[in-house]
Structure 1
């Protein structure tokens, strides 16, 4: 552990904005939020050593939603990485205290399947339930420390949704 949170690196991560044919975005309600917090998020997860961001995004999408790569088209990749810092009280509590937050590459994907193709009851289930929402609502659904990040992702991908 370092002496300062600022000395900790950011965890490499891939995020997925999954849009259905009507332009609505998939969000899942997180199972691990304390105190009954109604926190929703888009699928995301760590990039393994040696793994390409796109491969990580497709793997995470499947692990969290059951949606396989053949059911999506990748429409865009974020122009740059997006960063967020964990709140001070969470640093040291997750990711074995190795990271101060995440640096994320985001992908906009068009979902070609049906709602029946989505299965959040996966091996390492992260979501209690899921829904399709309008992109502008996303920043209001996410935990506060990720709000700016979600605003930036919506702005970057809005013309393509």
Structure 2
């Protein structure tokens, strides 16, 4: 049995458009080939998980006009790769991340997407570029150590895609 306390609480967001495509962000200053991912981030102490997902979506994409479509019932886990464990400050002693995933639909215009919107609040840019794509592309775009987690997300939300 896995000790969930070894995993940092995190949320992930799959943002769908009206055509059933999903939003992919190109990680800031990250070289190809595996530099695309969905928005994700940590959960603050006592923060509601859906509220955390909406906060991360806003911080990383600028999107606030989104309706909830679905959420995973259980935590989806991934371990940090051994080479990343050298950066103890970044991982704060955790083995990996436990994530709850949320599917939202963008109900505003694409022009609402603003990758630099959070900088005014002292935040950092997470993504350099973005695009719409198919949900089933996710596992080919993400870094290898997150692929199993992304495969679970794709299965969980496949019924929502184009």
Give the TM-score, by structure 1 length: 0.88
2:12 is equivalent to residue 18 of structure 1: no
Given that 1:91 and 1:97 are in contact with CA atoms closer than 8 Å, whether structure 2 keeps it comes out as: no
Q: 2:85 aligns to what?
A: 91
**Runs of 4 or more above 3 Å deviation:** none
Query: Which residue does 2:73 correspond to in 1?
Result: 79
Q: Deviations over 1:81-134 (max 9, x none)?
A: 100001101014152532111000000101111110100113111101000110
- Output the CA distance in 1 between the equivalents of 2:55 and 2:149: 22
Name the SS of the counterpart of 1:159 in structure 2.
Answer: helix
Question: Which residue does 2:138 correspond to in 1?
Answer: 138
Structure 1 residues 129 and 60, CA gap change in structure 2 (3 angstroms)? same
- Residue number in structure 1 paired with 2:95: 100
Aligned to 1:3: none
Q: Distance in 2 between matches of 1:150 and 1:142?
A: 8
Q: Hey, what does 1:152 align to over in structure 2?
A: 152
**CA 1:119 to 1:144, structure 2 compared with 1: closer, same or farther past 3 Å?**
same
Q: 1:87 to 1:125 in 2, by over 3 A?
A: same
Structure 2 unaligned regions, length at least 5: none
Moved more, 90-99 or 43-52: 90-99
> SS where residue 84 of structure 1 aligns?
strand
Match of 2:54?
58
Structure 1, gaps ≥5 residues long: 1-5
Distance in 2, matches of 1:149 and 1:25, equals 17
- Counterpart contact for 1:92–1:98, Cα < 8 Å: no
1:12-51 alignment runs, 5 A limit: 12-33=9-30, 36-38=31-33, 39-51=35-47
How far has the Cα of 1:145 moved from its partner? Answer: 0.5
Aligned-pair CA distance for 1:53:
0.5
Please give the root-mean-square deviation of Cα atoms over the aligned residues, in Å: 1.7
CA contact under 8 A between 2:29 and 2:128: conserved in structure 1?
Answer: no
TM-score by length of structure 2 reads 0.88
